[in-house]
Every structure is written in structure tokens, then in C-alpha cells.
Amino acid sequence: MTPTSTTRPSSTADVSRPGRPGPRRRRDDGGQALIRSGRTSTSSTQLARQLVTTLPQAVAKLDPRHVWHSPVMFVVWVGSVVTTVQAIADPSWFAWTLSIWLWATVLFANMAEAVAEGRGKAQAATLRATRRTSTAERRLPDGSLETVAASDLTIGDVVVVRPHQVVPGDGDVIEGMATVDESAITGESAPVIRESGGDRSAVTGGTTVLSDGITVRITTKPGETFIDRMIALVEGASRQKTPNEIALTILLTVLTIIFLLAVMAMQPMAVYSGQAQSPIVLVALLVCLIPTTIGALLSAIGIAGMDRLVQHNVLAMSGRAVEAAGDVSTLLLDKTGTITYGNRRATGLLAAPGLGNDEVTRAAYVSSLADETPEGRSIVELAAAALDTPTREALDRLPRDGATFVAFTASTRMSGADLPDGTAYRKGAADSVARWVSSHGGEMPSGVLTEVDGIASSGGTPLAVAVQEPGRSPRVLGVIHLKDVVKPGMKERFAQLRAMGIKTVMITGDNPLTATSIAAEAGVDDFLAEATPEDKMALIKQEQLGGRLVAMTGDGTNDAPALAQSDVGVAMNTGTMAAKEAANMVDLDSDPTKLIDIVSIGKQLLITRGALTTFSIANDIAKYFAIIPAMFVILFPGLDALNIMGLASPQSAIVSAVIFNALIIIALIPLSLKGVRYRAAGSTALLRRNLLVYGLGGIVAPFIGIKLIDLIVSHLPL
């Protein structure tokens, strides 16, 4: 058989998942959408403006009731109080300079947290603007309607929402179908379809019905709606420390206690040696010994991690979910709409032996002119690319010239067209076309049957094309190859996940033959064919028993058990309320491929925390070389050999180290908010890069910074 042409979809603009709204373009209206208005730049100018605006909030956070939540910064706060009292009792430039910069250290730590929280508050303010005081038409048991305030609705109430009215609360559509404007929630200007009885029945309070009318059963209490939860989450009011964050806090606390005991033990030794140290010097030593950098930025890193997800239109129900995404080792992905476009598309027209390409192309085009299914449209597009313009224009006039089109039915499994001159074209399932041909005295060529079997065995769908001309027996002209097309770039993305050490598993309801073909083309590591909800649950539990964290996406009620069982469950915003309640993340864009981005963001959070922890501990080494010699060089002149930076005096060395300790916090705020850039690589490669960049950098940077500060400080009357 002769292939006439083979094409792939040129873009995603003309395809969509069956039964779902088509692709939606992000509107660019400059501020109405949650994410667009909440997103902030990390440029130096923008950061400086944010630091200034959050200064009052940072000052308010100096309250010890807030500071004590961070043990490291609480020790710095206590040290600041001690040095301030000492400076008042025994004033000197040295005492006051140290006191001011110790307070600055605590203030800068508060600023880092305040800037991160400020982003969430900007997003929350935008969300609050979407909430409207509205009324609802509640249906009474006798079928009549009463008008009540939306705040008076309770779980189980049934309300009727008419065109141009606001949905009064979260719920499920139980009657009707309508287009709904969800731009206030998702930032997408194109409306979506919500209907009863399917996976697109959930509606969110605050959205607007544009056409038709729907009846909604309320599923949440006032104050507990989806928007209310979003406001609380993006504001950080519900943010709890994750297990890794708690573990790191414990480590920092232990290190702080160890260094505190070491400094306390140092004073008796200094007194015995005849070189007693003032409380100010001991406090300065303690502050420079403990890991103040990561202690100051730890909270900001966690808040910024959730903020980065929100910037991708993903709402995480907890920081634990974001962190778990970074540790995911198995990724379950639905085939339809995630790995593939979801609609079968024509990828080739194969002519029967002995026939030219023009005949099968013309027949496929004519028989699909009235076929409005995605498959039919793709056949028209494929054939049109092979037809010359005059021929195509002539065929397009057939409906006006009296041609009769035969619609596809489940019984015939064929469609086609009868032309005015008596010519009849048919296309459809190979066995249906074969019966039509044989009933009119024709037969199916063996070459066509071979090609049909080949397409079917590869996981594709073969459609036969036939023609019956006046006075002649029907002829089979060739075969159309339909297949579920894998999205471009998916194989490369799965290769990246494999490099991260993540196993990808495709979930599909297709038969094993089709699943094998798609899995091989997409490059996934494994697949689960003919999957049922029970099969998904069993697979997740099996992976978890092996000590692996599992992530998956879902949108239907039947996905809810698996979403709840998985460690990272991402529900589509277009899905049912049951799916969204079971998941720990909601994708407002309803893009199933977003799960890959979520994993990358989770890993970026963990890498950022690890990188700044490495930098914080490493930069303490340089501070030891500044303060230790300065404290005891008079008593032990040999310690001057450790003054490799050549600092001017003991006083300037101590002050320079404390100033650097404060300024490095400000310098690292942009990195903590933006996150360390993540590259797909194995754990060994990531560790090596972390040690080289942030470990070595953490040692070198303080040597340079402290020396530069010392050149300035040495001219002060300390």
C-alpha cells in the first residue's frame, strides 16, 4: 500500500480532551487574575521597594513572642538585648556598633519572612476582591424558590443560578448545563462548561454563570468555601512547618545549644588565663558561631515555595504537600489528555494496492466533510493538505450542489456522502465497510486487510474508505490511520524525570496492545492498562510499601480514593468536588501535565533549603578566623597566624564579622524567594554541585566580605 501523507498536529490549539472544554488562553488584563496580580518581581529595585514597605511589619516581628518560634534568631534577640544594656551601662563606639548590627540581624531576618508573606497577602487581597455579597434563589421542598443571602446557605441547600448571576457557594451541578466565567479564580478569560452527572459538575462560589441556567447543591459552609481556603493558604495563616523543616529546626537548635555551652565554658578559661572577655564580645562570638543565615531565611524559604506553586496556578493545601512533591519517586500519569492529546487524529492515508493516492485522498475528504467529530476534522485537515486548491474548492461546493451526507451511527459505524451523480463514498470501521462493499457485490482486497491488521496491532485505529460509482461494484480505496497522538516533548520530559530518579507510570483504560504502543512512543517506564479505581489504589499501595512517595493527578469522583491514598494528589479544578477534597493540591488551570512542574518546584524547595543550609554552616568557618584570633591574640600572640585576612584590630575584626553576618541575610533574600535553579540530575550530581557552589562559596565569600568591611570599619573610633 502507498502512503499518501503523514502529519502530526502542529499545535495544541485545535485539540482537546473529549468531553472537556477546549484550550483556554490566559488573559492579559493586567491585574484581575489571582496569579498575575499576586506575582512579584525579584529584581533589585522591586526587592528594595518590598523591603521598605515591609519594614513596619519587620519591626513588629521583633516582639519576643514571635521571635522565639525560631530558636536561632531568639538567641540573637537575647544577645541584642544584652549588648544594648551593656552599651547603655558602659557606652562606647564598639558597644553601640555591635548592638545596632545585632538588632539589624534580627530585623533583616524578619524582613525576609515579611517579604515572603507580603506576596501571599497581595494574592489574598486580589481574592478578597472577587468575593461579592450576593443573594441566592434557594429551592424549597415544595419546589418554590425563596431569595436568601448567600451567607445563609448551608450544606445540602439547592439553589437555582440563572444567566449573569454569581454562584453563591461551592457545590455540584445537579441539573442543567451552563458556561461559567471562572476568571476571578483561575485567571483564564475563556468560559468553561459545567454540567450535571459528569466529572465537570463542580462549581466554585464567586464564579459567574454566563449562559443557560443550572441547579446547584451546596457542599460547603459559609466561610469554608474554596476561595476562603485559598485566602487563608496564600496568606500563610494555615502554613504549618513541614517534617523536613521541623527536622532542620531541631538540628539548628541543637547546634545553637552546643555553641552556647561552648561560649559559656570559654569565659572561665579566659578568666583563668587572665584575658576575661566582655559580654559584648562573647555575644558577638556566639552570634557568629551559630547558623544565623539559614535560621533567618528558613521561614521565608517555606513560604516562597508555596508562592512559586501559586504562581503556576496550583493551590497547595499544605507545605507538607509541596515538600512531598520534591521527594516523589513514582509519578502516575493519566494517558488521555496528559501524555496524549486525548482525541484520535488522522496521521496517514494509505492507498490500496494498484491505486493512486489521489483517489483515497479525495474519498477521505468527501466522506468526512460533514463529520464534526475531532477525528473527522483531522481527516479533513490531513486530506486537504494533499489536495490542490481547485480540487478542494470543487469538493467544498458539494453540499450546495445537492450532495447528501450520511451521518455516523452506532449501528452502521460508518459515515459518508452520496453525490448527485450517483457516486457514494463511505468511511468507517473496516468490518462495517467490508460488509457494505460485499452487500453491493464487491470485496475487500487482501492488501487492505493486512494494513488494517498492522494498524490495529500497533495500537492505532484503522478506518477503511470505499466508493461505489454508478454501474460499478464498490471498491475499497485505502485505509485511514487514526491514533492517539503523544504530545510533543513528552519523551524528553520523561527522560528528565528519569534523570531525577523518578519512575513514570502511564495509567489508561485502553487495552494492553494500545497501551504498549503509546508507552513505547511516550517513553514512560511502565504502564497500567485497563485500569480500574481499585487497580490504581493497589498500584499506589504497592509503590508505597516499597518506601516510595507517589504522585498522581485526577479529576473524577472515581479518582478520589487514589488521590487520597497518594502522597501528592493533584486534582483538576474542572473536576468534581470529591476529587478536590481528596487531593492535597488543586491545579486551577486543569492541566494534567502540571504534575511534572509541581515535582520540579518541590525539588527546588528542598534544594534551596539544602543549599542555603550548606552556605550558612560553611560561612561560619571564615568568621572563626576573624573572631577567635581577635579574642585571644593578646594572651596568645601565636594566634595571629590565624589572622589570614590581615584584619586591622581585634575590635574591627569582631565588628566586621557581625556586620557581614547581618548583611549576608539581606543578600540571600532574593535567592530564598526565587529558589535555587533546579537541573534534572541524580542525587550524587546534585550533592556535588551543592558542595562546590554553596559549600565552597560559603567559605570564600565571608573572607572577601569581612575583609572589605574591615577596610571601612578600621577607620572608625572603636
Q: How is 496-564 classified by DSSP, letter by letter?
A: HHHHTT-EEEEE-SS-HHHHHHHHHHHT-SEEE-S--HHHHHHHHHHHHHTT--EEEEE-SGGGHHHHH
For residue 212, give the DSSP letter: S
487 is in an annotated binding site: no
The pLDDT score that the predictor gives to residue 234 is: 57
Reported as a pLDDT band with limits 50, 70 and 90, residue 254 is very high
In the chain the domains, ranked by start, together with CATH numbers, are 44-119+237-306+601-714 (no CATH), 135-235 (2.70.150.10), 314-339+487-588 (3.40.50.1000), 341-485 (3.40.1110.10)
The pLDDT score that the predictor gives to residue 75 is: 94
How many Cβ atoms from other residues are within 10 Å of residue 530's Cβ?
12
Cell of 400: 450546495
188-202, 270-284, 336-350 — which one is most confidently predicted on average?
Answer: 270-284
Name the nearest CA neighbour of 19 among 188, 212, 199, 190: 199
Taking residues 127-154, what's their average pLDDT?
79
- Between CA 317 and CA 664 the distance in angstroms is 32
The percentage of the chain sitting over the pLDDT mark of 70, rounded to a whole number, equals: 84
Cell of 211: 449562559
> Each residue of 141-162: b (16+ CB within 10 Å) or e?
eeeeeeeeebeebeeebbbbbe
4 is in an annotated binding site: no
Higher pLDDT residue, 592 or 279?
279
Name the nearest CA neighbour of 495 among 640, 351, 596, 642: 596
Question: Does residue 11 carry a pLDDT above 90?
Answer: no
Catalytic residue, candidates 170, 172, 307, 334: 334
Are 319 and 240 in contact, with CB atoms under 8 Å apart? yes
- Between CA 266 and CA 279 the distance in angstroms is 12
Chain CA centroid to CA 51, Å: 27
142 catalytic residue (yes or no): no
211 is in an annotated binding site: no
Higher pLDDT residue, 131 or 51?
51
How many Cβ atoms from other residues are within 10 Å of residue 473's Cβ?
12
335 is in an annotated binding site: no
Question: Does residue 83 carry a pLDDT above 90?
Answer: yes
- Between CA 476 and CA 464 the distance in angstroms is 7
274-283, 463-472, 582-591 — which one is most confidently predicted on average?
Answer: 463-472
- Between CA 560 and CA 579 the distance in angstroms is 5
Q: What are phi and psi of 401, to 5 degrees?
A: -90, 5
Reported as a pLDDT band with limits 50, 70 and 90, residue 640 is confident
559 is in an annotated binding site: yes
Q: Which residues, 6+ apart, have CB-to-CB distance to 676 below 8 Å?
A: 604, 607, 608, 611
pLDDT single digits (tens) 51-82 = 788 888 889 999 998 898 889 999 999 999 99
Chain CA centroid to CA 712, Å: 46
User: Does residue 622 sit in helix, strand or coil?
Assistant: helix
555 is in an annotated binding site: yes
How many Cβ atoms from other residues are within 10 Å of residue 368's Cβ?
30
| Burial class, 11, CB count within 10 angstroms (exposed 0-12 / middle 13-18 / buried 19+) | exposed
Please tell me the pTM assigned to this model: 0.64
- Between CA 52 and CA 56 the distance in angstroms is 8
17-21, 493-497, 636-640, 696-700 — which one is most confidently predicted on average?
Answer: 696-700
Beta-strand pair 330-334/550-554: parallel
The percentage of the chain sitting over the pLDDT mark of 90, rounded to a whole number, equals: 18
The pLDDT score that the predictor gives to residue 96 is: 94
Query: In this structure, what is the dihedral angle of CA atoms 369, 373, 375, 379, given to the nearest 10 degrees?
Result: 10
The pLDDT score that the predictor gives to residue 133 is: 58
- Between CA 377 and CA 368 the distance in angstroms is 7
The pLDDT score that the predictor gives to residue 101 is: 95
Return the amino acid letter for 652. S
Taking residues 385-408, what's their average pLDDT?
82
User: Does residue 318 sit in helix, strand or coil?
Assistant: coil
pLDDT single digits (tens) 195-245 = 887 667 788 887 888 878 899 999 887 777 766 766 665 555 445 566 777
The pLDDT score that the predictor gives to residue 38 is: 38
Are 647 and 628 in contact, with CB atoms under 8 Å apart? no
How many Cβ atoms from other residues are within 10 Å of residue 273's Cβ?
11
Reported as a pLDDT band with limits 50, 70 and 90, residue 718 is low
pLDDT single digits (tens) 303-316 = 787 778 877 878 77
Higher pLDDT residue, 282 or 224?
282
674 is in an annotated binding site: no
Reported as a pLDDT band with limits 50, 70 and 90, residue 665 is very high
Q: What is the mean pLDDT of the chain?
A: 80
Q: Which residues, 6+ apart, have CB-to-CB distance to 63 below 8 Å?
A: none
Name beta bridge partners: 486.
340
| Burial class, 538, CB count within 10 angstroms (exposed 0-12 / middle 13-18 / buried 19+) | middle
Cell of 36: 498575575
HSE at residue 624, side-chain half, CA atoms within 13 A, is 11
234-243, 471-480, 632-641 — which one is most confidently predicted on average?
Answer: 471-480
How many Cβ atoms from other residues are within 10 Å of residue 410's Cβ?
5
Taking residues 388-393, what's their average pLDDT?
84
372 is in an annotated binding site: no
Are 36 and 187 in contact, with CB atoms under 8 Å apart? yes
Question: Where is average pLDDT lowest: 111-120, 373-382, 459-468?
Answer: 111-120
User: Does residue 178 sit in helix, strand or coil?
Assistant: strand
- Between CA 634 and CA 273 the distance in angstroms is 11
Chain CA centroid to CA 629, Å: 49
Taking residues 394-400, what's their average pLDDT?
79
415 is in an annotated binding site: yes
The pLDDT score that the predictor gives to residue 12 is: 31
409 is in an annotated binding site: yes
Taking residues 99-127, what's their average pLDDT?
80
- Between CA 366 and CA 709 the distance in angstroms is 81
- Between CA 324 and CA 313 the distance in angstroms is 18
Name beta bridge partners: 506.
333, 527
413 is in an annotated binding site: yes
Higher pLDDT residue, 315 or 520?
520
Return the amino acid letter for 75. V
Q: Which residues, 6+ apart, have CB-to-CB distance to 549 below 8 Å?
A: 324, 327, 328, 329, 330, 567, 568
Question: Does residue 42 carry a pLDDT above 60?
Answer: no
